[in-house]
Structure 1
Amino acid sequence: MTNVFGAKSTTDEVLAGVNLKGKRILVTGASAGLGVETSRALVAHGADVVGAVRDLQKGEAATEEVRKAAKSSGGSFQLIELDLADLASVRAAADKLNAKGESFDVIIANAGVMATPFGKTRDGFETQFGTNHLGHFVFVNRIAKLLKDGGRLVNLSSAGHRYSDVNLDDPNFEKTEYNPFEAYGRSKTANILFSVGFDKRYKGRGVRATAVHPGGIYTELGRHMSEEQFAGLLENVNRQRREAGLPDFEFKTIPQGSATSVWAAVVAPADEVGAHYCEDCHVASIVEPSDNVLAGGVYRYAVDPERAEALWRKSEEMVGESF
């Protein structure tokens, strides 16, 4: 790599000099936060972006700047309806895309929820695992044939994967007490393992999959947390960082948070990021849960190929569909 980017790099810095004309990219969760900025940055460099959103009316209002950027650059932007918490909606959206038959260079699975109260998706799955993982698992696999040879899948994960490995024996918290952050951790670990499994299946035709941690950013993602919960979480993180001799946690701006997504999608060499977890615009090192990982890294269980295969089989069993 000729350019070295880091935690403070923005989407515009990462994409400086990059021409994306002719590139077709799908971004889920395009109606808020990182999804809006990721879409804006891509269309500003000429890409044709399809944004998948749960609420089309909200999506139209939230993406006005994206459309302006597309008009200025010669790119394009359109929205499709996709509710990841409803597999009927997921399958309908995939069917519509497959019927059109227009291929994609990149899929960025950006949408997600965090630390929700206990609940279930329309299909009876625990909300976070069902939305963050299973919804994307079905959607991406159903449209995988639309990914061009040499294309990429970018799954948004999180440092929150450190809260928990996946629990394949009790994915819906039917036997264990529900904890919103443990549930979030399970879903974010699943996002990484899905990348590992998808990469294994499609790298034969040059399609590579990666997972990214955008960093800590003030977005709608944290809307289910109370101010007290948020303050307590931040204080706990900073206490651990101080004990480790590290500075207090620093939040990113939305353009900084979106930078790793676009870097992994269209800038980094495919073989560099394939089957890996990236943060701050670089591939993260593998660390053990006992290590001090406050400065970064991915837990080994989240990139374990055998664990990825076990999750794939369990996911197929849960959604009643084989890929």
Structure 2
Amino acid sequence: MGWSAADIPDQRGRLVLVTGANSGLGLETTRALHAHGATVLMACRNRERGETARRILTDQSVSMEGGIELLDLDLADLESVDRCAQTIRQRFGRLDLLINNAGVMAPPRQCSRQGHELQFATNHLGHMALTRALLPLMEGQPDARVVTVTSGAQYFGRIAWEDPNGEQRYDRWQAYGQSKLANVMFALELDRQLRDRGSSIRSLAAHPGLARTNLQPASVSANGSRLEAQAYRLMDPLFQTAAMGALPQLHAATAGSAQSGQHYGPSRLGGLRGYPKRQRVAPAAEDPQQRERLWDLSLKLIEAGPALR
């Protein structure tokens, strides 16, 4: 058997932030880290759903260490990102582990509060803004890590450099692929920048393969696509549980062997399912010039919104 949640090292004393923690991969990640003693901050867009998930986890917990707290965070609103970062700064003054997990998948075209295409805003820009705001709280913490969750969609993604917000042409799956490619490009560029300035913080990426979460039914519901619903039914035997899908990000977040700049995914069926192992990133993400170009573009889009203090 490969690396599993049972192999997570002792997390007592560590403060962890997980975005999108109330369901799917985020919920399982929160469950596993808290079970090993971490204090987990569940950053959720919907407070009612977040509180329900927090209560369930607390009731089911066998850990006498750490705790679980709820924070409000809407990644599609840079002002909400700013408020969340300020709350962590004021209440805790530090952070050991950030898991950029939350995401939306293939909705009809919508815009964030700042006017950016929703998937690019939520999956990439919001996480980039949150990470940049929290890095000062992580500097100097033992084994501080940022784990950014991408997906297999990175491999068919491309950055629409002249139209990142899909204003001229919008295809929901192309936009999703763009956002997931952006996730891994961001993780690798962050790794480079942290290394260049001599930081001890590690930046890693992970993808879950085909994991059964709320993303699939949410996409079907938002688009009313019978064809998509049928495709998911046909593919159902390939899907693994959310708990299995969370293992690559848990490995990146906690394994002693996981190094900055690495990318983890499932080990079997071309990365669709199985226990975590190191995986190659999309070819576009290996190009340092493209990564730097994306960083600069993203920074301009973020800074066009509220200043993150």
TM-score, length of structure 1 as denominator length: 0.83
What is the identity, as a one-letter code, of the residue corresponding to 2:238? Answer: E
Deviation at 1:187, TM superposition (A): 0.2
Deviation at 1:136, TM superposition (A): 0.6
Task: Give ranges in structure 2 of 5+ residues lacking alignment.
Answer: 267-275
SS in 2 for 1:160: helix
Deviation at 1:233, TM superposition (A): 6.6
Choose the corresponding residue for 1:137, options 128, 135, 155.
128
Superimposed CA distance per residue, residues 30-53 of structure 1 (whole angstroms, 9 cap, x where no aligned partner): 111111111011001111111100
Deviation at 1:199, TM superposition (A): 1.0
SS in 1 for 2:68: strand
Aligned to 2:19: 28
Choose the corresponding residue for 1:117, options 108, 115, 131.
108
Aligned to 2:175: 183
CA contact (8 A) 1:10 1:258 kept: no
Superimposed CA distance per residue, residues 56-114 of structure 1 (whole angstroms, 9 cap, x where no aligned partner): 12101122232235563322110100000111111111122222353121100010000
Alignment of 1:284 onto 2:279: yes
Alignment of 1:221 onto 2:212: no
Relative to structure 1, the CA distance from residue 207 to residue 58 in structure 2 (aligned partners, 3 Å threshold; closer, same or farther) is: same
Aligned to 2:202: 208
Deviation at 1:234, TM superposition (A): 7.4
Deviation at 1:277, TM superposition (A): 2.0
What is the identity, as a one-letter code, of the residue corresponding to 2:265? Answer: E
SS in 1 for 2:49: helix
Alignment of 1:37 onto 2:25: no
Aligned to 2:273: none
Q: How far apart, in 2, do the equivalents of 1:191 and 1:268 lie?
A: 23
What is the identity, as a one-letter code, of the residue corresponding to 2:279? Answer: A
Choose the corresponding residue for 1:301, options 272, 284, 288.
284
What is the identity, as a one-letter code, of the residue corresponding to 2:240? Answer: K
Deviation at 1:276, TM superposition (A): 2.6
Alignment of 1:308-323 (within 5 A): 308-320=291-303
Aligned to 1:163: 156
What is the identity, as a one-letter code, of the residue corresponding to 1:224? Answer: S
Q: How far apart, in 2, do the equivalents of 1:234 and 1:180 lie?
A: 20
What is the identity, as a one-letter code, of the residue corresponding to 2:191? Answer: D
Deviation at 1:202, TM superposition (A): 1.8
Structural RMSD (CA): 2.1
Deviation at 1:182, TM superposition (A): 0.5
Deviation at 1:212, TM superposition (A): 0.7
What is the identity, as a one-letter code, of the residue corresponding to 1:277? Answer: H
CA contact (8 A) 2:23 2:214 kept: yes
Deviation at 1:194, TM superposition (A): 0.7
CA contact (8 A) 1:118 1:126 kept: yes
* Count of paired positions: 288
Q: How far apart, in 1, do the equivalents of 2:289 and 2:237 lie?
A: 33
Choose the corresponding residue for 1:275, options 233, 239, 261.
261
Q: How far apart, in 2, do the equivalents of 1:89 and 1:207 lie?
A: 24
Alignment of 1:5-20 (within 5 A): 5=2, 10-11=4-5, 13-15=6-8, 18-20=9-11
Aligned to 1:245: none
What is the identity, as a one-letter code, of the residue corresponding to 2:28? Answer: E
Q: How far apart, in 2, do the equivalents of 1:196 and 1:249 lie?
A: 32
Alignment of 1:196 onto 2:182: no
CA contact (8 A) 2:54 2:68 kept: no
SS in 2 for 1:42: helix
CA contact (8 A) 1:28 1:108 kept: yes
Q: How far apart, in 1, do the equivalents of 2:211 and 2:130 lie?
A: 26
Superimposed CA distance per residue, residues 263-298 of structure 1 (whole angstroms, 9 cap, x where no aligned partner): 110114243xx223210222113xxxxxxxxxxxx3
Q: How far apart, in 1, do the equivalents of 2:191 and 2:85 lie?
A: 20
What is the identity, as a one-letter code, of the residue corresponding to 1:60? Answer: E
What is the identity, as a one-letter code, of the residue corresponding to 1:304? Answer: D
SS in 2 for 1:252: coil
Aligned to 1:87: 78
CA contact (8 A) 1:215 1:279 kept: yes
CA contact (8 A) 2:36 2:63 kept: no
